[in-house]
């Protein structure tokens, strides 16, 4: 018996039950804690999707991060330092490697001068620790939590 695949692809939208909020979509103009949460998702996904058997710990440039966040231009990357700082501080508050440290300048291949690092660690040591961490075991921080981190900075 032949199966008509096209017949099975057609799906209808399921209405949301009362009390179930619609999915949240990120936008370029979001508040800092919301942008920080989006950065967390981008960076933890980028690290977690890599082959850890290789010794090379890949980085992401500020410009690449800006593009992944929906900005039209890589030059927007210079506007992300506060959001990255929120992510880095939250990591340190929870005894995690500073995930923000993997975002680097395209020319120098190093993070900016205001990067958050674990005290006593070099950039290279922080990068290795980021890749040793199982980010799938760590819950995504809420925007409310990240707002509190921002207020405490």
State pLDDT tens for residues 49-105.
Answer: 766 556 577 899 999 999 999 999 998 888 999 999 999 999 999 999 999 999 999
Confidence of residue 26 (pLDDT cuts 50, 70, 90): very high
Q: Domain range spanning residue 78?
A: 32-152
> Phi, psi (5° rounding) for residue 91?
-60, -50
The reply to whether 138 falls in a domain is yes
**Half-sphere exposure of residue 26, counting CA atoms within 13 Å on the CB side?**
18
> Phi, psi (5° rounding) for residue 26?
-75, 150
Give the number of domains in the chain: 1
The reply to whether 10 falls in a domain is no
The reply to whether 104 falls in a domain is yes
Please give the pLDDT value at position 6: 47
The reply to whether 9 falls in a domain is no
The reply to whether 63 falls in a domain is yes
87-121 b/e with 16+ CB inside 10 Å = b? bbbbbbeeebbbbbbbbbbeeeeebbeebbbbeee
| pLDDT exceeds 50 at position 17 | yes
| pLDDT exceeds 90 at position 146 | yes
3-state SS, residue 91: helix
| pLDDT exceeds 60 at position 4 | no
Instruction: Tell me the β-bridge partners of 23.
Output: none
The reply to whether 16 falls in a domain is no
The reply to whether 15 falls in a domain is no
**Spatial separation of the C-alpha atoms in residues 109 and 111, rounded to whole Å:** 7
**Spatial separation of the C-alpha atoms in residues 111 and 101, rounded to whole Å:** 6
Confidence of residue 3 (pLDDT cuts 50, 70, 90): very low
């Amino acid at each position: 018996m032949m199966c008509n695949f096209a017949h099975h692809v057609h799906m209808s939208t399921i209405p949301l039950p009362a009390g179930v909020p619609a999915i949240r979509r990120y936008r370029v103009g979001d508040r800092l804690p919301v942008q920080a949460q989006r950065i967390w998702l981008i960076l933890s996904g980028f690290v977690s999707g890599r082959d850890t058997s290789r010794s090379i710990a890949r980085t992401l440039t500020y410009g690449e991060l800006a593009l992944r966040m929906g900005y039209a231009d890589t030059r927007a990357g210079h506007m992300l330092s506060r959001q990255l700082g929120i992510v880095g501080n939250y990591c340190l508050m929870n005894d995690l490697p500073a995930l923000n440290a993997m975002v680097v300048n395209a020319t120098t291949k190093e993070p900016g001068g205001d990067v958050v690092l674990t005290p006593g660690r070099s950039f290279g040591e922080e990068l290795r620790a980021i890749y040793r961490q199982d980010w799938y075991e760590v819950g995504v921080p809420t925007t409310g939590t990240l707002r509190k981190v921002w207020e405490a900075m």
